[in-house]
Structure 1
Amino acid sequence: MGSVYIPPIRLAILEADTPVPGIKAKYGSYGGVFKYLFERACASLNPPQPLSAILELSSHDIVNHPDAYPDPETIDAILISGSKYSAYDNDDWIVRLTQYTRRCLEGGRVRVIGVCFGHQIVARALGVEVGKNVRGWEISVTEHELTEEGKKLFGMQKLAIHQMHRDQVFSLPPGAVQLARTDVCDVQAMYIPNRCITVQGHPEFTDDMVREILEMRRYGGILGPEIFEDGMRRVSNKHDGVAVARAFLRFLRQ
């Protein structure tokens, strides 16, 4: 008997920002950045798979094109990207994104992945407070403490991924399981089976991407010299972005 054909999962990447110039030149948009991440995740499977066998990706600029949202009937999952904006603001597009995310979560069929800003939008859609973290920035490759559920879900004992945030989710939404924490931010990753998985960090970032963002934010006066130098010291440390993407794939295929 031949193996049963499983069609690729239709994953819509909701782009909540435009990348900095170097990333944009290389990858086009955050859709291109996530495509690169998932290509590496698929190649690292046993046996390796081409991306097209597992995911059918589409990208949607939801900041500049409010009508860009895919009809939930035509997709299987959404991934909400990171952003320089704040998930607790009430700009029209942020409110619209929160409502769309809530609709997907409540519908129960379309699965939701949230990354950084996307993690915070999912929390907001589930009724949890999001705001500025009084402990300040988390940047560059950061060690995470995994909960028992986090160890199982990510398939590792500890986790390190890139960070680039000063906002945070203050508490777990109802029914959500905590996956990871740091000293600076308690809700680093969360999971509701068959509904959503979110991370505060950036599995999609590479050291060259983060180096450019750090330099732009340093020269723009957003980061002070001490935090900038600390981030640059850790920017090339080993990180587990591809392992997180593999966990996303497992979640989508459950």
Structure 2
Amino acid sequence: MEYKDKILAPGKSMDDAFVAILVCDTPIDALSEFGDFGDQAIALFRAAGMTDTLFRKYDVISKMEYPTAEELQRCQGLYLTGSRSDAFANSPWIDRLREFVRMCLQEYQFPITASCFGHQLVATALGLAVGRSPRGWEMGLTQVQINSAINLRPLISNSGKNNFTVMEMHQDEVLTNPANLPPGYVNVGSSAACGCQGLYKKHRVLTFQGHPEFTTACGEVLVESRRRAGQVDAALYNDAKSRNASLSNDGVEIGRCMVELFHGRL
């Protein structure tokens, strides 16, 4: 099967190892200047050091495109993007995506990374509960306390503090108690509004509830759109605007964590 959305790094051929980007949403008009979620992920990974890597985008929602078995033999890593859909829904494309991720976890050894919806989808593939957060929306630049059980601190520019700042934009979350994750998995960290901010398994999985691929400018557009749509109240909107203006975005540093996983160093 041939896919239209393939991005070749200079000097690379389609027979080289690559990172598969599973694009889990259709383009959003308000974010057209930033590209689709796959474009933003690739921009993040390039900024995080993967300048010579081959990336392949797969449209898993509109076209239900997936890497072939032959391609998966050369896959260096997998990334699942965010989405406006619910990871716990039972629609045909989400069911197929969940089964694909479950198969990859069971039959292949390449690392899997993800953000927001992708993080939640991986959680459902692991049998974890995902649903609406009882605290409602979490949005804007948000500080996340890193779980002391994992060593992300050397990879994130946070002046030695045990936290990072990431753009959040979600009302769903992993509801399973982080103490009850499958063997080998640990919770990345927690925020004031969300107890499970990611999943980590050594050399295999690193997901984030936030959007490291979202620049602050991109997040600002989404904060404004949520307010115009009446999805958030004035208090949350003003708080998010204040945090976006005062906090530094650690997105690229978080991307470096994913790159470390792709290279087998995390």
TM > 0.5 fold call:
yes
* Worse-matched range after superposition: 173-182 or 91-100: 173-182
Aligned to 2:149: 149
Contact 1:9–1:252 under 8 Å retained in 2: no
Whether 2:25 is the aligned partner of 1:17: answer yes
Q: Is the partner of 1:168 in helix, strand or coil? A: strand
Instruction: Describe how 1:132-211 pairs up with structure 2 within 5 A.
Output: 132-152=132-152, 155-156=155-156, 157-171=162-176, 172=178, 173-175=181-183, 176-211=185-220
Contact 2:174–2:196 under 8 Å retained in 1: yes
Q: How many residues align?
A: 237
2 CA distance for matches of 1:99 and 1:154? 34
Quick one: which amino acid aligns to residue 88 of structure 1?
F
Distance change in 2, residues 1:228/1:194 (3 Å)? same
Distance change in 2, residues 1:8/1:145 (3 Å)? farther
Aligned to 2:55: 57
Whether 2:112 is the aligned partner of 1:107: answer no
Whether 2:67 is the aligned partner of 1:86: answer no
Q: C-alpha offsets along residues 137-158 of structure 1, whole Å, 9 cap, x if unaligned?
A: 1101101111123444663431
Distance change in 2, residues 1:51/1:124 (3 Å)? same
Structure 1 unmatched runs, 5+: 1-6, 43-49
Contact 2:34–2:218 under 8 Å retained in 1: no
Give the counterpart of 2:259 among 245, 249, 254: 249
Quick one: which amino acid aligns to residue 56 of structure 2?
S
* TM-score, scaled relative to structure 1: 0.87
- Root-mean-square deviation over aligned CA pairs: 1.8
Aligned to 2:234: 225
2 CA distance for matches of 1:149 and 1:239? 23
Contact 1:81–1:116 under 8 Å retained in 2: yes
Structure 2 unmatched runs, 5+: 1-14, 157-161
Give the counterpart of 2:249 among 234, 239, 245: 239
* Worse-matched range after superposition: 151-160 or 8-17: 151-160
2 CA distance for matches of 1:117 and 1:209? 17
Aligned to 2:11: none
Quick one: which amino acid aligns to residue 189 of structure 1?
G
Deviation at 1:230, TM superposition (A): 1.5
Give the counterpart of 2:48 among 36, 41, 48: 41
* TM-score, scaled relative to structure 2: 0.83
Q: Is the partner of 1:51 in helix, strand or coil? A: coil
Contact 2:18–2:77 under 8 Å retained in 1: yes
Same amino acid, percent of matched pairs: 30
Deviation at 1:22, TM superposition (A): 4.1
2 CA distance for matches of 1:153 and 1:79? 22
Q: Is the partner of 1:191 in helix, strand or coil? A: strand
